Amino acid sequence: MSGRGVLRKLFYKKQHNKDERVTEIGMPTNVQQHIHVSKNSETGMLEGLPASWLRLLNTQITPAEQNENPDAAIQAVKFHMYTIKKEKALDEPFKPFVTEEAITEEDLEIEKLLDKKNAHQSQDSDLSIGQSSEEDVAPNDKHSQRQTMPAAPNKHSMKKKDVMLDLSAVVQDLTLIGNESEESPILRKKEMMNAALTDEEVYAELKRICNKDDPYVRFERIKQLGAGASGVVFIAIDSKDNSRVAIKDIDLTKQTKKDLILNEINVLKGFHHKNLVNFLDAFLSYDHLWVAMELLDGGSLTDVVTEVVMKEGQIAAVCRETLQAVAFLHSKGTIHRDIKSDNVLLGMDGTVKVTDFGFCANIVGDEKRQTMVGTPYWMAPEVVTRKQYGKKVDVWSLGIMAIEMIEGEPPYMKETPLRALYLIAAVGRPKIPRWESLSPAFQDFLDKCLQVDVDLRATADELLAHPFLECAMELKTLTPLIKAAQRILHKSYD
């Protein structure tokens, strides 16, 4: 029987025999799909992934590389596509806190993404083989998709078993949108009711925990730093003490998950540390929530590392201060997961503070670097491969940030995000060009940070006791570097 005949037969059962439908296909809440990704023995290239994923993969990872490290290639494209999907859906004004539980949930989302894409592709292939939606392609990769590339495998070149598995996935997926289920309307109704009630409760709780001052009266806007879907970020003067602060003005009418905003503010209130960009206060005025944070006038560490050569003692000082923030977050059960120079802000006196651990506004980061999909260059191998994923991902990222301070940029910065993900998964520890010029203590410190085996990698607390940090120079020695970078980049936060 042809594939189309099998599909018609299964649909016929769905329409005329509900009991058989449940027995053969399974309930929508227990959808199981068996995705078969294989390596072509002749070309060395991977097959069985969604067509648009394969096209992107084949333009950036060579057949030899796919043949040598097929698992790294699969994990890289899977994670890359997940970050694209996540960024498209992200409209919250806060960057969610990362915990062990959140990582487990994310693992499931990533695995489901491939299943759904394959089911969607199987359904479409019966109508138009090889077509793909533009939403599957990263914005920066759309042009490359028009070039001549290896054709994606179609159902005529697949084994009969694989065709049957794909058809099974299609029918199981279609049960999710059937009109005969009595559960779906009830679930949708519940969600709508809960959302309305949650909004009312959130506004009531925000009024209770927010400062009662009128923010439009208390603060004088000085300079806008950025704007996005989640709100506007600007520098302001607080009339109470004439201090300068960073404020994010969030239009609550545009936020779909107001309960998450409330949760993040409550957590931020308890996260005060000398090496974190601290939450100061929140103000509610009608539908606008103003979140005030500390302002550091020295800009980001990125400005310094890209323009000025740092001494080992200065690098040690930045590592020590950053580690103190990371160790504090870890003690609170929180993983930063995005340690990099963009998220380390400096004061003109050399103060070093970590930001972007909950409050999403990166006040003075480089916009180009921020918009890269997933900013993978600092990611630990286990983030991509989803193995033994926990707090030590921040230690790996710190090691990569140390390389930034040595070389001026992280490894693979000139590669595309997808290719960088592949290299991180396949190569593991990156090469450091100036390795021989580093002191033995610094080399050992980097060794402890950049162990691919998570069990061998040091913890943040262990690194705080490392001998390399004993050579740390005074923080005020960073001031000349900050001033030099600001002059070169024509930046000022006055």
Q: Are 70 and 385 in contact (CB under 8 A)?
A: no
Rounded to whole angstroms, how far apart are CA atoms 436 and 28? 58
Which of these, 96, 108, 105, lies nearest to 260 by C-alpha position?
Answer: 96
The structure tokens listed for 166 are: 């794909």
Distances (CA, A) of 240 to 220, 243, 280, 313: 11, 8, 13, 38
At 471 the three-state DSSP class reads helix
Phi and psi of 401, rounded to 5°? -65, -35
Q: Cα angle at 404 between 400 and 410, to 5 degrees?
A: 65
Q: Are 478 and 344 in contact (CB under 8 A)?
A: no
At 38 the three-state DSSP class reads strand
Q: Cα angle at 391 between 388 and 397, to 5 degrees?
A: 100
Rounded to whole angstroms, how far apart are CA atoms 179 and 227? 42
Residue with tokens 């058989």: 20
Extended strands (E) in 266-371? 279-285, 288-294, 344-346, 352-354
Which of these, 125, 1, 111, lies nearest to 52 by C-alpha position?
Answer: 125
Partners of 220 in the β-ladder: 237
Residue with tokens 């930046």: 491
The structure tokens listed for 337 are: 């997961």
**Catalytic residue selected from 297, 338, 342, 356:** 338
Q: Are 66 and 41 in contact (CB under 8 A)?
A: no
- Among this protein's residues, is 214 annotated catalytic? no
DSSP code for 416 = -
Q: Please identify every residue annotated as catalytic.
A: 338
